Amino acid sequence: MSDCPFCKIASGQIQAKLLHHDEQCVAFADINPQAPFHALVIPRRHLVNLNELSTADEGLAGHLLAVAAQVARAGGVAESGWRASFNTNREGGQVIWHLHLHVLGGRQMGWPPG
Ligand code: 5GP
Ligand code: ZN
């Protein structure tokens, strides 16, 4: 997707503070952090959100979760605790239309989420 900001981060056209990259995904610091630690894990492949995910993508989905856990450990929040979130569509709070997994930590999270 030529006008997708997260495709541009994945391809290096837009700079971000990279925390992890491999052939399937990229993780980077959120530009507007909502917690002391706030990273995003995205597939390189353009998927809009979880609504587009099929059982053929189970490997990719598992990989995103494993990388989220790795990024949380490297960010020093694994023991204290962290939150993983896929915001999906309007009522899910999604504003960027490329699948991304939020990794939030470093403060007490509220429940239920707002
Ligand atoms: P959403 O509400 O779609 O789940 O979250 C999108 C997230 O992407 C927001 O937390 C926002 O701060 C982050 N974001 C949007 N544009 C950029 C960008 O260009 N660079 C980075 N690093 N984060 C971005
Ligand atoms: Zn994209």
80-105 per-position pLDDT tens digit: 999 999 999 999 999 999 999 999 99
pLDDT score recorded for residue 2: 80
33-75 per-position pLDDT tens digit: 999 999 999 999 999 999 999 999 999 999 999 999 999 999 9
Q: For residue 104, report the phi and psi dihedrals to the nearest 5 degrees.
A: -120, 135
pLDDT score recorded for residue 28: 98
Distance 28 CA to ligand 2 centre (A): 14
Specify whether domain 5-105 bears CATH 3.30.428.10.
Answer: yes
Under 8 Å between Cβ of 19 and 29:
yes
The residues facing 38 across adjacent strands are 104
Domain boundaries, the chain: 5-105
Ligand 1, atom 18, lies closest to the CA of 31
- Report whether pLDDT(76) > 90: yes
pLDDT score recorded for residue 11: 97
